Amino acid sequence: MADIDRAKLVKYRQDGARQVMERLNLDLLVLTTFDNVRYVADIRPFFVTGWMPNAIAVLAKSGDPFVLYPDEYVAPSPYWADEGAALKDKYGWSHYTIFNPALVSDMYAEWLDWAFQKLGITRGRVGLDSAPWQWFVAFKQRLPNVELVDAQTELLKQRAVKSAEEITVLREAALASGEAVMRGLAVAKEGARDLDILGAAMGDAFRHNSEGDAFFPFLTCGPVRGGALYPENREIEKGDPVILDLGPIIDGYMGDCMRVEYVGKPTNEFEDLYRAVYDCMYAGIKAARPGVKASSLDEAVRGVIRERGYPVHRFDSGHGVGLSCCELPIILRADAYKQPGKLDLTLEPGMVFTLEPRLYKQISDDKFIQASLEEIILITEGGCEVLTNNAPFLDDLIDVQPTKYP
């Protein structure tokens, strides 16, 4: 864990959640997702792919959050005595379920009802984040006097601006992601397997304190076809571009970094593509400062791609990182959404997000070469800072302050 003032970190996040409650005029906030529960309750819930959520945090206008999560005691404790009586009294449930939560939504509703009674709450406006729809239906049936309000957008808006403590942890996650990618790409030699790259990179991420993957890592080697993203146990050949993109998780905060390696001497075509990616990144970084719209950064990146005659990528140019990977601000392609204004945030100091230009050149009917980079950017008072530090930027292209890995 990073060396931070933990109480300060938690207070900042709980104050943030209470600001959301105020803006939405809520009596209570019910949080169920892995990241939101962690945001207010500072616990690390079990994480099982496709089996979320498994914990509920209830936040009232004052006081500590009330957490429905018996597996704080998944390992035994005096709470286990007498068939878990103390566990039941404190957490409302003496048993830890491993059911997919959509299958026992009635039990979660009953559990929430128990919590509301314990808190003395019978009615009011209750904010709910992105729960499964079965929970929503069960909650409504079980708690008819409660009005459920969508709190997810406001929560993510609130979470977009990070505190000094959060930035310290995110800096570690960003550096760990750059380091892990570098360790992986060091294996990218003629005759190696692409899976060896992934093994080296992910092993390093775990040795650097990673809790898991922010996303299932992307790795492509050699010329790519549409859809190519993942390794296929391919033997690496001379002349292969290798692109690796992964995200370790440090103390809940997610890193995300993408780098490219070329096996052998790069072709002129590839060099040109790589230089263009640099220039895209630089254009984005140059545009990144308080007061500008997120979509301006996307346009800065996209403009360089167009100008150089490469096909523009069909997604946005970056995304916020924090307790989830892909949160606000999205560096969005403004014309791709019906109501871009709603989510096209104005950048503020403390916002942390990626820029990830991806460039491609068609080399035959269905084959492409690609070059991509991804940096994590922090908006500062004066402009921005790059939190990842291993990018082989050319000196004359970059005037931001890169950080050093401890």
> Segment 169-228, which members bind its own copies (CB under 8 A)?
193, 195-196, 198-209, 211-217, 220, 224-228
Restricting to residues 329-358, which ones interact with its own copies according to CB under 8 A? 330, 332-333, 336-338, 343
- Decide: is 364 part of the binding site for its own copies (CB under 8 A): no
Rounded CA separation 270/110 (Å): 59
**216/238 with CB nearer its own copies:** 216
Given candidates 51, 141, 190, 397, which one binds its own copies under the rule CB under 8 A? Answer: 51
- Which is it for the CA torsion 320, 321, 322, 325, positive or negative? positive
**51/271 with CB nearer its own copies:** 51
Question: Which of 46-54, 166-174, 279-287, 373-381 is the region at the interface with its own copies (rule: CB under 8 A)?
Answer: 46-54
Question: Which of 117-125, 276-284, 288-296, 362-370 is the region at the interface with its own copies (rule: CB under 8 A)?
Answer: 362-370
**193/286 with CB nearer its own copies:** 193
Given candidates 2, 102, 121, 149, which one binds its own copies under the rule CB under 8 A? Answer: 102
**336/394 with CB nearer its own copies:** 336
Q: Assess contact for 179 and 219: CB atoms under 8 A.
A: no
Question: Which of 21-29, 270-278, 295-303, 321-329 is the region at the interface with its own copies (rule: CB under 8 A)?
Answer: 321-329
3-class secondary structure, 272: helix
**281/393 with CB nearer its own copies:** 281
Q: Assess contact for 326 and 319: CB atoms under 8 A.
A: yes
Given candidates 16, 108, 129, 281, which one binds its own copies under the rule CB under 8 A? Answer: 129
- Decide: is 136 part of the binding site for its own copies (CB under 8 A): yes
- Decide: is 10 part of the binding site for its own copies (CB under 8 A): no
Given candidates 4, 24, 42, 110, which one binds its own copies under the rule CB under 8 A? Answer: 110
Q: What are phi and psi of 369, to 5 degrees?
A: -105, 155
Nearest approach in angstroms of CB 366 to its own copies is: 7
How would DSSP label each residue in 145-196? TEEEEE-HHHHHHHHTBPPHHHHHHHHHHHHHHHHHHHHHHTT--TT-BHHH
Given candidates 35, 165, 179, 385, which one binds its own copies under the rule CB under 8 A? Answer: 35
Query: Pattern of binders to its own copies over 365-404, x per CB under 8 A?
Result: xx-x-x----------------------------------
- Decide: is 142 part of the binding site for its own copies (CB under 8 A): no
Peptide bond into 231 cis (omega under 30): no
Q: Assess contact for 386 and 285: CB atoms under 8 A.
A: yes
Among 157, 126, 152, CA closest to 320: 157
**319/393 with CB nearer its own copies:** 319
What is the Cα Rg of the chain in Å?
23
Q: Assess contact for 370 and 310: CB atoms under 8 A.
A: no
Rounded CA separation 121/123 (Å): 6
Nearest approach in angstroms of CB 139 to its own copies is: 9
Nearest approach in angstroms of CB 323 to its own copies is: 8
Strands across the sheet with 241-246, in order?
A: 218-221, 241-246, 257-262
Nearest approach in angstroms of CB 213 to its own copies is: 5
Given candidates 4, 12, 121, 153, which one binds its own copies under the rule CB under 8 A? Answer: 153
- Which is it for the CA torsion 337, 341, 347, 351, positive or negative? negative
- Which is it for the CA torsion 273, 279, 282, 288, positive or negative? negative
Residue count, binding to its own copies (CB under 8 A)? 111
- Decide: is 327 part of the binding site for its own copies (CB under 8 A): yes
Restricting to residues 257-296, which ones interact with its own copies according to CB under 8 A? none
Rounded CA separation 88/111 (Å): 11
Nearest approach in angstroms of CB 104 to its own copies is: 7
| Cβ atoms within 10 Å, residue 401 | 11
Contact residues for 313 (Cβ-Cβ < 8 A; gap 6+): 302, 305, 357, 358, 359, 360
Restricting to residues 77-96, which ones interact with its own copies according to CB under 8 A? 77-81, 84, 87, 94-96
Given candidates 9, 30, 73, 287, which one binds its own copies under the rule CB under 8 A? Answer: 73
Q: Assess contact for 205 and 333: CB atoms under 8 A.
A: no
